[in-house]
Amino acid sequence: MTTAADVMTTTPVTIRLTARIREAVRLIESLTVRQLPVVNEEGELIGMLSDRILDAVLVPTPDGRGQDPGARAVLDSPVSSLMTGHRFAAVDPTTETTRVVDIMIARHVGAVPVIDRQGSLIGLVSYMDVLRAWPFPAEGAEDPSPDVIPTLT
């Protein structure tokens, strides 16, 4: 059985609840991540912020030469104004990876945070983490060897 702990990124980039959207955009662009877990001062997971949410509000001007004035105002807003709060799903490290995938599909999200019993973020399972670990060995079965795909000539 493959679990969230087996495939998760153990040092996910996070952002503080009080940070500005401008900082979140800078992190997402510079680190090429798609999701930012939002944490409070104690490191507890409070919400999630995704690049999709940011893309939806940070629209360029019709001529493509700058940001819409409304979008510029959003950049100075706190992360808490755009994050997904009570609606995000989190799992514990023992959750089976197949269950994590089910959550991603059902919630239309690209990552699921992994938290400990105190609610502190200890990892993040993204769709890329899942793909890197695929195929999961069946319980009780040997780890399968990779399939060979014939090359067309």
Residue-wise pLDDT for 105-119, tens only, equals 999 889 999 999 988
Q: Is the pLDDT of residue 24 over 80?
A: yes
- The amino acid present at 139, given as its one-letter code, is E
- The answer to whether residue 143 sits within a structural domain is no
Q: How many CB atoms lie within 10 A of CB 10?
A: 10
- The answer to whether residue 145 sits within a structural domain is no
- The answer to whether residue 83 sits within a structural domain is yes
My answer on whether omega of the bond before 135 falls inside 30° of 0, hence cis, is yes
Q: How far apart are CA 123 and CA 35, in angstroms?
A: 12
- The answer to whether residue 141 sits within a structural domain is no
- The answer to whether residue 110 sits within a structural domain is yes
CB-CB contact of 25 with 33 (8 Å):
no
Nearest to 5 by CA among 72, 118, 100: 100
Which of the given ranges, 43-47, 56-60, 123-127, has the highest pLDDT on average?
A: 123-127
- The answer to whether residue 40 sits within a structural domain is yes
Q: How many domains does one find in the chain?
A: 1
Q: Is the pLDDT of residue 145 over 80?
A: no
- The answer to whether residue 58 sits within a structural domain is yes
- The answer to whether residue 148 sits within a structural domain is no
Segment 118-145 shows an average pLDDT of: 76
Q: Quote the domain boundaries for residue 66.
A: 4-133
Q: Tell me, what's the pLDDT at 1?
A: 84
Segment 40-60 shows an average pLDDT of: 79
Indicate which CATH number applies to the domain containing 91: 3.10.580.10
